[in-house]
A and B are shown apart, each in its own frame.
Chain A
Amino acid sequence: MYASLWRVLPGPVWVRIIILFVLLVAVLFALVTWVFPWVDLIITPQDVTVKN
């Protein structure tokens, strides 16, 4: 899977490394900004209040 991604990327090795780095940063940003907060609301019990 990742090997195929490496082959699909254009350019010499250093260009591919830069592209991969940018992709990685984009993925991390998306995770932290949207995915993690959304998952957290669903899976983490966050109740700190008393209620019936």
Chain B
Amino acid sequence: MTEQHTGEPAAKRPRSRGRKPRRPVSVVGVLGELLITAGVIVLLFLGWQLWFNDIISENQQSNQASGLAQSWALPSAAATATPAPSKTAKPHTEPSTAKPVVGKAPGNAEKFGVLMVPRWGKDWERPIAEGIGVADVLNTIGVGHYPGTQMPGAVGNFAIAAHRLAYGHGFRDVNKLRVGDHIYVETKDGWYSYVFRSLEYVLPTGVGVIDPVPQEPGVKPKDRLITLTTCNPFYSTAERMVAYGVFDGWYPRADGPPTEIASAVAARSS
């Protein structure tokens, strides 16, 4: 401000009419502008991470899931779906009495399943891929399967992980699961139904939760379990929140989906 008073204002005024007199570029001025810019960029980043990119990831993952599931739809069911959608893929209330078909673990970052949890939304679904890499699976596909743990329906533990926050926040509402809630895993073979049983909180090193019998290393499994891991608390990775579910039946693709998710499955093709 001081430089404006040092010149001869009366003499200069006519020449600079209509234009403000140029202020010399000062170091402090440039620094201030840079700092303001940096602040704006930080705010933009937060908006991108927690809102913009989250919504985009959520949509992409949801679309990937329904696209993947539609690629498994039986051709006969798809053909008859147009004339009479209500008759196709009759929802079976009773699971199959046969032993569940267990698929083979695919290659890293390869999608092999779709997770459906009615508690998190009637048509909530996410693709499941092999591996727990951050950039290739968790950020882009959503849900990752711990390599080496069992596949859906197998005796042992089908262990999966997803983000709690940002990047589609797959497992944001893990703590909202209630005993009796179903966790469905769809593969090309059919639907595997698990019932939520309990939550556990462990440190990031608590690898016992993905053992075939959780927290009992070396014990031979008899039950078919599912384990969901995500970070806890919100905005932190200090702990892991773990949800366990127990297998309660399997629905071969030819028989149609379980009643609870039948409408969500039917809605995909329309």
Contacts and interface: CB of A to CB of B under 8 A. Distances in A.
Interface stretch (B108-116, B204-212, B247-255): B204-212
Contacts of B194: none
Nearest to A46: B134
Interface string B204-229: 11110110000000000000000001
Given A36-B48, A39-B45, A47-B237, A1 B25 contact: yes
Nearest to A5: B33
B30 A1 contact: yes
Contacts of A1: 25, 29-30, 33-34
Nearest to A36: B48
Interface string B149-181: 000000000000111101100010000000000
B195 interface: no
> For the side of the interface on A, what is the size category?
20 to 34
A51 B204 contact: yes
B41 A48 contact: no
Interface residues of B, number: 40
B49 interface: yes
B115 to A, nearest CB: 14
B241 to A, nearest CB: 9
A50 B29 contact: no
B49 A51 contact: no
Contact of B204 (A36, A39, A44, A47): A47
Interface string A1-38: 11110000000000000000000000010011000110
B72 interface: no
A50 B163 contact: no
B135 interface: yes
Contacts of B146: 49
B162 to A, nearest CB: 6
A36 B231 contact: no
Contacts of A32: 48, 52-53
A31 B202 CA distance: 36
Contacts of B33: 1-2
Q: Which residue, of A2, A36, A50, has the highest number of chain B Cβ atoms within 10 A? A: A50
A1 B242 CA distance: 51
A39 B48 CA distance: 12
B134 A50 contact: no
A20 to B, nearest CB: 14
Interface of B: 23, 25, 29-30, 33-34, 41, 44-45, 48-49, 52-53, 132, 134-135, 138-139, 144, 146, 161-164, 166-167, 171, 202, 204-207, 209-210, 229-231, 237, 240, 242
Given A46-B237, A48-B162, 9 more contacts: A1-B30, A31-B48, A32-B53, A36-B53, A40-B45, A46-B167, A47-B231, A48-B230, A50-B207
